[in-house]
């Protein structure tokens, strides 16, 4: 019944991407510019700083939001990563994660707020979020390479697309979970819609928004290895190199560094969400 392909969707997609590359390259280079500058700034800054300064800064954040236990674990984890010989790669990975999460936050939180306050906008946005979450991450790589070339910036752009849905969905969920009576009370006391959003809905939704931020960070770290396939640096590169050369030790130690970095970032952001919940 389906021996002959009736819908040449693959040819249509290829034609669309080719048309975009030929006619709108300047637009995509314009989109690439802020990501490039942000990533370069984070990467140069983190690699310029002494490892001691970075470790102490991470430990201070961990102590501030969680306590001594997480601070000690963060110090041990970061020192161990350095002793494995992956400090520069870890800083590049951290720069990529921070850049991706920054742009996901700038775009995702306003979209999530709009979706949380408007059923119509939520219905329009939902299919795009479903597609972004269910499309295999490898599928992003070919059009990203064609539109933005290869390298760290292309890896960050692919990561942004991959990591955007959680922060949008959880921001929307947090706004919708604010009890309607609280909103009505604020309006009754003379607050306008902007004041209701800033002083009532966003503060009460903050634990859920931070949970979305946590998920975005974890997904960004999961994308690190995949992004290395299109020339992105960081800890993904030794993992891919170890895979291609069957160097198990290299792949495992680089993978362990990703796990330790993920654990530190995960515990800190979870503690941030917990502190907002207890307020």
Q: Are 230 and 156 in contact (CB under 8 A)?
A: no
Phi, psi of 6, deg, nearest 5: -95, -30
As to burial, measured by CB atoms within 10 angstroms (0-12 exposed, 13-18 middle, 19+ buried), residue 9 is: exposed
Instruction: Read off the pLDDT of residues 133-183 as tens digits, 9 standing for 90 and up.
Output: 888 777 777 788 777 777 788 888 888 888 899 999 999 999 999 888 888
Q: What is the structure's pLDDT at 277?
A: 57
Q: What is the structure's pLDDT at 279?
A: 56
Q: Are 256 and 194 in contact (CB under 8 A)?
A: no
Q: What is the structure's pLDDT at 172?
A: 93
- Cα separation, 259 vs 84, whole angstroms: 13
Q: What is the structure's pLDDT at 180?
A: 85
Token pair, residue 185, equals: 């009370």
Token pair, residue 254, equals: 């680089």
Q: Are 171 and 116 in contact (CB under 8 A)?
A: yes
Considering the segment(s) 36-46+86-277 as one domain, its CATH architecture is Orthogonal Bundle (1.10)
Q: For the chain, what are the domain ranges?
A: 36-46+86-277
Phi, psi of 103, deg, nearest 5: -70, -35
pLDDT per 10-residue tile (average), the chain, 279 residues: 65 79 79 88 90 92 87 93 91 91 92 91 90 80 79 85 90 90 84 86 89 88 81 82 84 89 88 65
Q: What is the structure's pLDDT at 56?
A: 93
Q: What is the structure's pLDDT at 53?
A: 93
Q: What is the structure's pLDDT at 274?
A: 67
**Structure pTM?**
0.86
Cβ neighbours around 10 below 10 Å, total: 9
């Amino acid at each position: 019944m389906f021996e002959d392909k009736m819908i040449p969707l693959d040819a249509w997609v290829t034609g669309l991407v080719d048309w975009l590359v030929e006619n709108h390259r300047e637009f995509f280079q314009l989109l690439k510019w802020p990501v490039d500058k942000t990533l370069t700034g984070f990467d140069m800054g983190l690699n310029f700083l002494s490892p001691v300064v970075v470790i102490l800064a991470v430990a201070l954040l961990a102590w501030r939001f969680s306590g001594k236990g997480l601070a000690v674990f963060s110090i041990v984890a970061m020192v161990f990563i350095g002793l494995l010989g992956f400090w520069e790669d870890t800083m590049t990975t951290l720069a990529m994660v921070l850049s991706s999460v920054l742009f996901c936050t700038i775009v995702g939180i306003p979209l999530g707020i709009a979706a949380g306050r408007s059923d119509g906008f939520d219905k329009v946005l939902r299919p795009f979020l479903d597609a972004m979450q269910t499309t295999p991450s490898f599928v992003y790589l070919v059009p990203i390479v064609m539109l933005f070339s290869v390298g760290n910036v292309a890896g960050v752009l692919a990561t942004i697309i991959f990591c955007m849905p959680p922060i949008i969905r959880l921001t929307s969920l947090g706004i919708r979970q604010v009890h309607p009576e609280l909103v009505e009370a604020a309006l009754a006391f003379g607050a306008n819609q902007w004041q209701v959003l800033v002083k009532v809905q966003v503060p009460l939704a903050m634990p859920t928004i931070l949970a979305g931020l946590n998920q975005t960070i974890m997904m960004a770290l999961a994308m690190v290895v995949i992004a290395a396939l299109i020339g992105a640096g960081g800890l993904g590169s030794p993992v891919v190199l170890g895979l291609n050369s069957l160097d198990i030790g290299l792949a495992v130690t680089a993978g362990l560094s990703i796990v330790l970095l993920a654990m530190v970032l995960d515990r800190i952001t979870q503690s941030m969400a917990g502190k907002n919940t207890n307020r």
